[in-house]
Amino acid sequence: MPEHTDEDVLNAVREHEPAGTKEVADQLGIARQSADYRLRRLLDEGQVSKKKVGNSLVWSAEED
């Protein structure tokens, strides 16, 4: 299983922005739980933001 970098995750978010966790997981070919973990870590680092839309969370990349 290939290891994805933070940049890979950010690129997946940018490609589908605002991106759902499932979209990021599907783009990278990883489990939804793995994508959620990576996205939350990037959130803690200030590289992405999240927003609740209906019953879903969507993610956006933060500008440098």
Q: Is residue 1 part of a domain?
A: no
64 residues of the chain, pLDDT tens digit each: 468 899 999 999 999 999 999 999 999 999 999 999 999 999 999 999 999 999 989 999 998 6
28 bridge partner residues: none
Neighbours of 16 (CB within 10 A): 16
CATH of residue 49's domain is 1.10.10.10
Please state the domain count of the chain: 1
Range of the domain at 41: 6-61
The residue with tokens 């990349």 is 61
Tell me the whole-structure pTM to 2 decimals.
0.89
Q: Is residue 19 part of a domain?
A: yes
Sign of the CA dihedral running 29, 16, 51, 40? positive
CB 18 within 8 A of CB 53: yes
Q: Is residue 13 part of a domain?
A: yes
